[in-house]
Amino acid sequence: MIFKIVALAIVGFLIYIVFFKKNREDIINKKNDNDIIDTMLECPTCKTYTAKEDAILSNGKYFCSKECLK
């Protein structure tokens, strides 16, 4: 009786490792790859580097803040 329970637990654990753990590792690796990629641009006014997503685009130039844009 105990042998059947232990065998069932081992089979369940192996199924978990084969099907679910691999998917979780792939999702974690994809998140880490996206976090690393970022383009930094230099502000023409103050020479500070700013992420492209945070920069303000005006007349074909990227500025770090509204103060530098003026």
23's enclosing H/E stretch is: helix 22-36
- What's residue 5's pLDDT? 94
C-alpha span between 54 and 26 (Å, rounded): 29
Domain match, 28 and 44 both: no
Q: What pLDDT score was predicted for residue 31?
A: 60
Give the global pTM. 0.47
CATH number for the domain spanning 66: value is 3.30.60
8-67 pLDDT, tens digit per residue, is 999 999 888 777 766 666 666 666 555 556 789 999 999 999 998 889 999 889 999 999
pLDDT at position 2? 92
**Domain identity same for 20 and 44:** no
Q: What is the count of structural domains for the chain? A: 2
SS (H, E, C) 3-17: HHHHHHHHHHHHHHH
Residues 30 and 43 in one domain: no
Q: Are residues 26 and 42 in the same domain?
A: no
Domain that holds residue 9: 1-37
